[in-house]
Chains A and B, each alone.
Chain A
Amino acid sequence: MNDGRRRYVDLPRSRARIDAEIDEELHFDIDMRTRELMAKGLPETLAREQALREFGDIAATRRYCAATDAHTERRGRVSQWIDELSADVGLALRTMRRMPGFVVVVLLTLAVGIGANASIYSIVRRILIDRLPYRDASTLVRVYAGVPPTGGSEFLTAPELRDLAIAPAFDGFAAFGMIGGTTYQTADGPTPIPMASVTPNFFAVLGASPLAGRTFGAADVAADAPAASILSYDAWQRVFGGDPAIVGRTVSFTGELRTIVGIMPRDFVSPGFAADLWNVIDVARFLEPSRVRYRGFRGIARLRSGTSIERATSQAATIAARWRAEGLVRPTTPAPRIESLRDAMVGDVRPGLLSVMSAAVLLLVIACTNVAGLFLARATSRRREMAVRIALGAARGRLIRQLLTESALYGVLGGLMGVSMALALNPPLARVANAVLPKLGDIQVDFRLMMTALIVSLLCGLAFGVLPAFSATRVDVKEAMGDAARGASSGSGRVRLRQLLVSSQIALAVVLMVGAGLLLRSFSGLLNTPLGYSAERNVLVFSLDAPVASFPDTASRASFFSAAISRMRAIPGVAAVGVTSIGPWNGPNGAKLSDPSNNSAVEPAPVALVTASDGYFSAIGTRLLRGRAIVETDRVGAPLVIVLSESVTRRLFGDADPIGRRVVVDLGGNRGGQLHEVVGVVEDYRSRPTRDPSPAAYVSDWQATNWARAQFVVRTTADPATVVPALRQASRDINPSGSMGYLRTMRDLTRGFLAPQQLALELFATFAALALTLAGLGVYAVMSYAVATRTREFGIRAALGARRGRIIALVFRQGLSATVSGIAIGLSLALASARLIAGLLFGVSSHDVSTFVLVPAGLFIVMVAACAIPARRATRIDPVQALRAE
């Protein structure tokens, strides 16, 4: 009899087995009773009959027991599975404790891969995958004016808006424009608030409801209605301290009185433009003859349900044909362009984000490959352990399961570390992303994302565990346990597999490094792109307001700004001060120039029209090429003057001397058609390093209608930080209630242009550096292992008189052959995939030769270094010891 200590359930029993066992058990009972009755003298048949009768319903018992046992069995199997799993996990943990170095390398490698992916995916999800934060966002579109081949603005005019709004494709058509900023005087001084003007139906078209108060209605544009505005949640908190009584109050912004009628909720996102204050605007007022040509509106519309963008576009084309026939637009002007709101808001950043996401995925693949290589190397050294266990009767399936449990455990632990890494990186990353990318809501690592990351990590663990697990358990017991196991080279198949893993890591690292290299070349090119103005730290820009309330007319505003300029010029350390209406960095303010003497043989030239005061060019650093700059005497009453940029000059006058010629400045508004005398020529400028140079024209600030706000440009000889207090004092002296806004150095301002490129570059560079490190570690690990297993061989070679050089060459040949093939594969992959980041590159071909040469060269050097340590170790092998060790 057994001792009763056996396990409750040994092996899972099949249904047939259960039935057979019950039969046997019941038969045993009947037989015993039969025998007992026979001993009392009954003949066998009668004894059996009586035994059966005494037993009761044997068929029902059989059925009952079978059903009960099946249930027991199922539960037993689950508990057995849990028992085995916890045994495997326990064994894995004990194994891990024995080799902390290995564990740290594996977990860090995985954590880096998972952490990078979770971080980037948290951004990608918010911007590219989650729905836009509007009702039925997929039916929202942006509508742009067609731009004629000669250039022009994508903004719409009021008549165009009026005609497009009644197209049947649209179920609501709103417009916005006049994007700019204002200030509000708080206790801490004036606070800048970005603002924009929107049509009364703007919020209704988006399907957005206010947090407090109301959104705009038709009554807000009635002739006698007060100027109505809506605040963003952010501005409500930041500027008004979250005071709920603000709704309904009339507030003064830069001397302009506006009534706050509502506050938008926290998650409301301004669709594609920054605004914390939305003012209502009546587009109908722009149908007056004097303003009818004002091209400053951007259209946002909701498609009628079931209407496609194509259908809306074709209706817009029909309308545009009528405009051409009526002479409202040029004959060459194409139809308005319609684009989904999502594309309009995130289309620019999609390629960059997807590239960075792909880079993160590549990094994860490299990490997994690296870990697989490490596992494989370890599997080889565990062959003896496996052989012992197989010899002791362990099933191979069971061993594989145990090894997979171990790698899954690595996967889960690595995933947990990766998720913590992503959580730690989230705040800084979200800050950077919000500054660079369209703001669509909080970028966060939430529970769903964490779970996804953990599952991905677990799958990675299983994926890299499968090969080593099968490889480790494919053991010839006799061979592995015999002497041959010690020091003999491991199977050539396994060596080839490890070399393959190393090669693929190197190949993927090459792809990432080429990507980073191309972005770096592009970025450094952009940094050195001449902008046509200074990008230095010692040039300060800021805005200064001459509120309409205090300075009601052009003359008073001009004298205010004039006084400010002369006061600031007097400050020690200031080299030049100038004023402009709109800095070149703000993008073009469209106008058209024509040469009246030319009888329209040349099409009017579209230019960015900028106003400039005396001193502006020297302050901003735009070079004067011919003639003179704007001077102080170019005032109202004096002849109207204009300074052209070189490409406009060429366009209008060819190589002829433009100085003294006259041009007509057509602003498309009420100031159209005035003749200006050309007094100078300056260089072109780029509003962004990534854009082509803009043709520009500068009129005297003193001869233009002065706006209530001017942009000041101050060039300093001293450290700008030391000059700022004096500048502030000067502005307060002239107007105690006004203050400098948006103060920045030109270096910060121009660096900001490149923030998206910089972010993409930094992420790519980080991933590439990690990839290179991992690949280097991979090569090092494989070579160290190879040297360790070839100790005897190297010992014999040394004993037979092989020179050190020969042994070093042996090691390098093995390591570098994997490197060379990896580089070759990587370069062809990089050639094929570089096109994917072509959209992120400026001034660099996606097949840039120097990148494709330098990257492999650099990588090769790192790999040589990774081989050098094992190679040195190989030459140090003492032949006597190596042979004795056997």
Chain B
Amino acid sequence: MARGSSELVPGTVDVLILRTLAWGPMHGYGIKGHVSDRTGGTITIEGAALYQALHRLEKRKLVRAWWGVSEANRRARFYDLTAAGKKYLEARSGDMREYVGALLRVLDAK
């Protein structure tokens, strides 16, 4: 079952983006595809949410951006994790794991 980003827990999009960029520099469209592929289509990030998040992360200096050339030989805006972004990702993924674990303990309680 596919879920739009509007149904995600707040802050999840940021973590998904940062985690994806941890693999290497990528443009927005690539990030979207990567998330969709990795979740087998369960989670898709809407373009609107993705780009707003990317620019917000750029402002917070968690990612940096530059213009490069895409696989299709077109100018595309690439994003990359900054050192601050890496640190932020580590902290947030820990939080999230804890949160999901707690959630599961409640859901799986017999």
Contacts and interface: CB of A to CB of B under 8 A. Distances in A.
A binds B: yes
Interface of A: 1-2, 4, 6, 8, 21-22, 24-26, 28-33, 54-58, 60-61, 64-65, 68-69, 71-72
A4 B47 contact: no
Contacts of A33: 29, 47
B56 A68 contact: yes
A68 B27 contact: no
Nearest to A31: B74
A22 B51 CA distance: 9
Given A8-B64, A28-B27, A65-B55, A1 B78 contact: yes
A68 B58 contact: yes
B46 A28 contact: no
A68 B59 contact: yes
B1 interface: no
B69 interface: yes
B69 A29 contact: no
B47 A1 contact: no
A1 B51 contact: no
B52 A28 contact: no
Interface string B66-95: 111110101111101000000000000000
A412 B78 CA distance: 43
Interface residues of B, number: 29
Interface in B27-77: 27-29, 32, 46-49, 51-52, 55-56, 58-59, 61, 64, 66-70, 72, 74-77
B48 A56 contact: yes
20 contacts: A1-B69, A2-B66, A4-B66, A21-B67, A21-B77, A25-B77, A28-B29, A29-B32, A31-B74, A33-B29, A33-B47, A55-B46, A55-B47, A55-B48, A56-B47, A58-B47, A58-B48, A65-B55, A68-B58, A68-B59
A561 B72 CA distance: 119
Contacts, number: 80
Nearest to B47: A55
Contacts of A65: 51-52, 55
B7 to A, nearest CB: 13
Nearest to B77: A25
A54 B46 contact: yes
Contact of B29 (A22, A29, A69): A29
Given A25-B77, A65-B55, A72-B59, A1 B25 contact: yes
Contacts of A72: 55, 58-59
A26 B51 contact: yes
Contacts of B69: 1
A65 B32 CA distance: 17
B77 A57 contact: no
Scoring A21, A30, A68 by chain B CB atoms within 10 A of each residue's CB, the highest score goes to: A68
B90 to A, nearest CB: 20
Given A1-B78, A28-B27, A28-B29, A61 B48 contact: yes
Nearest to B48: A56
Given A1-B69, A72-B59, A61 B29 contact: no
Given A4-B25, A71-B59, A56 B77 contact: no
Contacts of B25: 1, 4
Contacts of B55: 64-65, 68-69, 72
Nearest to B71: A1
A61 B47 contact: yes
A26 B38 CA distance: 23
B52 A61 contact: yes
B97 to A, nearest CB: 29
A28 B48 contact: no
Contact of A28 (B56, B64, B77): B77
A79 to B, nearest CB: 10
Given A21-B77, A64-B55, A68-B58, A54 B68 contact: no
A60 B68 CA distance: 25
A554 to B, nearest CB: 96
A64 B52 contact: yes
A295 to B, nearest CB: 84
A22 B58 CA distance: 13
A56 B46 contact: yes
Given A1-B25, A68-B55, A72-B58, A60 B48 contact: yes
A24 B75 contact: yes
Contacts of A56: 46-49
B71 to A, nearest CB: 9
Given A25-B76, A28-B75, 10 more contacts: A1-B25, A2-B78, A22-B51, A29-B28, A29-B47, A55-B46, A55-B48, A56-B48, A56-B49, A61-B47
Contacts of B59: 68-69, 71-72
Scoring B51, B77, B78 by chain A CB atoms within 10 A of each residue's CB, the highest score goes to: B51
B99 to A, nearest CB: 26
A71 B11 CA distance: 21
Nearest to B75: A24
Scoring B25, B47, B70 by chain A CB atoms within 10 A of each residue's CB, the highest score goes to: B47
Contacts of B78: 1-2, 4
A28 B47 contact: no
A54 B47 contact: yes
Contacts of A60: 48
A21 B61 CA distance: 19
A153 B55 CA distance: 87
Nearest to A27: B74
B47 A26 contact: yes
